[in-house]
A = this chain, B = another copy of it.
Amino acid sequence: MTSAYEDLERRFNRIASLGEAAGVLHWDSSVLMPDGGAQARSEQLAAISVTCHELLTDPRMGDLLACAEEEAGALDSWQQANLREMRREWLHATAVPERLVEAMSRATKACEMVWRKARPANDFAAVKPYLAEVLALVREEAQAKSEALGVSLYDALLDQYEPDGKSARIDSVFEDLAGFLPGFLDRVLSRQASEPEPHRPQGPFPQAQQEALARDLMQGAGFDFAHGRLDTSLHPFCGGVPDDLRLTTRYDEADFTSAIMGVLHETGHGLYERGLPERWRRQPVGEARGMAMHESQSLLVEMQACRGPEYVGYLAETARTAFAASGPEWTAENLRRLYTRVKPDFIRVDADEVTYPAHVILRYRLEKALIAGDMSLDDLPGAWNEGMRDLLGIAPPEDRLGCLQDIHWYDGAWGYFPTYTLGALAAAQLFQAAIRQKPEISESLSRGDFTPLMGWLRENVHNQGSRVSTDELLTEATGGPLDVQAFKAHLNARYLGA
Contact = CB atoms under 8 A, between A and B. Distances in A.
Interface of A: 13-14, 17-18, 20-22, 24-25, 28, 32-37, 39-41, 43-48, 50-51, 224-229, 240-244, 281-282
Contact of A18 (B33, B48, B241): B48
A29 to B, nearest CB: 10
A281 B13 contact: no
Given A28-B28, A40-B241, 17 more contacts: A13-B47, A14-B47, A14-B50, A14-B51, A17-B43, A17-B46, A18-B47, A20-B40, A21-B25, A21-B44, A21-B48, A25-B25, A34-B225, A34-B244, A37-B240, A39-B243, A41-B244
A491 to B, nearest CB: 38
Contact of A21 (B21, B228, B240, B241): B21
Nearest to A51: B51
21 contacts: A13-B43, A14-B47, A17-B43, A17-B44, A18-B44, A21-B21, A21-B25, A21-B45, A21-B48, A24-B44, A25-B25, A32-B229, A33-B244, A34-B226, A34-B244, A37-B227, A37-B241, A37-B244, A40-B243, A40-B281, A51-B51
A429 B241 CA distance: 48
A244 B226 CA distance: 27
A20 B35 contact: no
Contacts of A240: 37
Nearest to A227: B36
A201 to B, nearest CB: 30
A36 B226 contact: yes
Nearest to A35: B226
Given A34-B227, A225-B34, A282 B243 contact: no
Contacts of A47: 13-14, 17-18, 21
A400 to B, nearest CB: 30
Nearest to A45: B21
Nearest to A242: B40
A228 B37 CA distance: 8
Contact of A229 (B21, B34, B281): B34
A20 B36 contact: no
A29 B226 CA distance: 13
A36 B224 contact: yes
Given A32-B229, A43-B282, A226-B34, A18 B51 contact: yes
Contacts of A24: 25, 28, 44
A170 B47 CA distance: 39
Contacts of A37: 227, 240-241, 243-244
Nearest to A241: B40
A339 B371 CA distance: 70
A18 B55 CA distance: 15
Contacts of A28: 24, 28
A59 to B, nearest CB: 15
Contact of A244 (B36, B51, B229, B241): B36
A419 to B, nearest CB: 26
A101 B225 CA distance: 35
A102 to B, nearest CB: 14
A25 B226 CA distance: 18
**In the complex, which of the residues A14, A32, A47 has the most CB atoms of chain B within 10 Å of its own CB atom?**
A47
A417 to B, nearest CB: 31
A165 to B, nearest CB: 29
Contacts of A21: 21-22, 25, 44-45, 47-48
A429 B182 CA distance: 81
Contacts of A46: 17
A426 B40 CA distance: 30
**In the complex, which of the residues A13, A43, A241 has the most CB atoms of chain B within 10 Å of its own CB atom?**
A43
A34 B282 CA distance: 19
